[in-house]
Amino acid sequence: MTTSNNLYSDRRALGTVGQGFEAVRRQLDAFLLQDEGYSAQLAVYWKNELVVDLFGDNGSGSDEQGVTGVFSVSKGIGALVIALLIQRGLLDLDKPVAHYWEDFGYGGKTAITVRQLLSHQAGLLGTGTTFEQHEILESSKAAAKLARTVPQWHPGSMFGYHAITIGVFMEEIVRRVTGRELREIYEEEIRAPRQVDFYLGFPEAQEHRYRELSPMRPTIAQQAESYRGRVSSDTLGDLASNTLGNSHSLLAGQFSPNLREVRAAGPAAIGGVGSARGLAKVYAAAIGDVAGPRFLDEATVLKVTQQQAWGHDRVLDVDMCFGVVFAKSQPRADYGSYLAFGHDGAGGAIGFADPFHEIGFGYIPMPMQYPGGVDPKALVLTRTVRECIKRQLEA
């Protein structure tokens, strides 16, 4: 019979933490002990050093070398490429989108700025019919359809989460400005030079490392809560998530990262694959000297992370706060300081940078965590990290 001590040992997080960050390990250990079905990867850079590098596996498939899909966490990685174009003077947030993409001006869209489009204010959630898989994986096809679409609200009058289409818009803007693919720029100028373990376009040679993402396991009470008030599949949320007329979840649908063709294409809205270590590293490298000089200067970071939209999201029906693509820390999802920027995903994962605390943070749970969006456990872990930093600075 397994003793409680052995059980604790079996379920303790493995990996390393730097001096002064032991409380982070203890907190992750506590989560592993509380939920026998929970596993996770957690990584944190502080002042350019990897100070937390942990994983805990209760049988859900998380391990030190594994990678998995993280849905909308991918948007933050795509936004780093957008930031590079802004830094180089190739993209002006205040120019009309039609300046770069002439066809976009159809249907009263000539005045929509790049800033509005990339902060969920344009009202271009979809086309009224669902996109086919190939239209998102080869997103120039989806972009052509969206260029002919009339917005669902007057642009700039409100904001609502463009769950799928904001990835299409990022990719098309990059094509129009550079003649290259977004994932190509990310691979050649950000990921490969720094050996970041996060991919937009997962290589076939790495397939042995992929761990299939599994669905969330809500309690009966959580199931009841999730079904409350949902009587149709014809809302703006369904339009935005490409589920008009059906009840398919993201994981069971045609854009699931568990499908090889999706992770091979790496669409910027939902198709990224990687590890928590990779997420922490890429964000740390954006604001610090990790595996080379920082790739975004301070002025650019301030520009793309400035608040563009804050309040009640018309699509998600919760409070949200956005910079240029990036989701900002805010009271409902307090993951960092007022300067923090990054993105969470439907499975509970999150990656972000916090210039105030000089951290890059990556967290990937298994299975997907209820209720979707950033896992509440991640918010506890981020607070624990900040408390550790505070104690060290006060010592």
Mean pLDDT of the region 329-356: 97
Residue 59 reports pLDDT greater than 90 = no
Burial class (CB in 10 A: 0-12, 13-18, 19+), 172: buried
DSSP reduced 3-state for 56: strand
Mind listing the pLDDT tens digit for each residue in 363-385?
999 999 988 889 999 999 999 99
| Per-residue pLDDT at 227 | 63
Q: What is the pLDDT of residue 215?
A: 85
How far are the Cα atoms of 61, 198, 345 from residue 368, in angstroms, in the given order?
12, 18, 10
> Which is it for the CA torsion 256, 261, 264, 270, positive or negative?
negative
Measured distance CA(357)–CA(379) in Å, rounded: 15
Q: Higher model confidence: residue 258 or residue 11? A: 258
Residues composing the chain? 395
Nearest 5°: the CA angle 377, 381, 387 is 145
How confident is the model at residue 372, as a pLDDT?
A: 83
How would you class 204 by CB atoms within 10 Å of its CB: exposed for 0-12, middle for 13-18, buried for 19 or more?
exposed
Percent of the chain with pLDDT over 70: 93
> Tokens standing for 363?
């967290």
Whether residue 58 is predicted with pLDDT greater than 90 in this model: the reply is no
The pLDDT of residue 219 is 72
Name which residue leads in pLDDT, 122 or 222: 122
Mean pLDDT of the chain: 92
Q: Cα separation of 269 and 170, whole Å?
A: 9
Instruction: State the pLDDT confidence band at 4, using cuts at 50, 70 and 90.
Output: very low
pLDDT of residue 274: 98
Contact 103, 147 (CB under 8 A): yes
From 68, 76, 25, 72, select the one nearest 365 (Cα to Cα).
Answer: 68
Q: What pTM, to 2 d.p., does this model score? A: 0.94
* 108 has a pLDDT exceeding 50: yes
Between 63 and 20, residue with greater pLDDT: 20
pLDDT digits over 168-218, tens only?
999 999 999 999 999 999 999 999 999 999 999 999 999 999 999 988 776
Domains, the chain, ordered by start: 8-73+196-214+253-292+308-394 (3.40.710.10), 76-182 (no CATH)
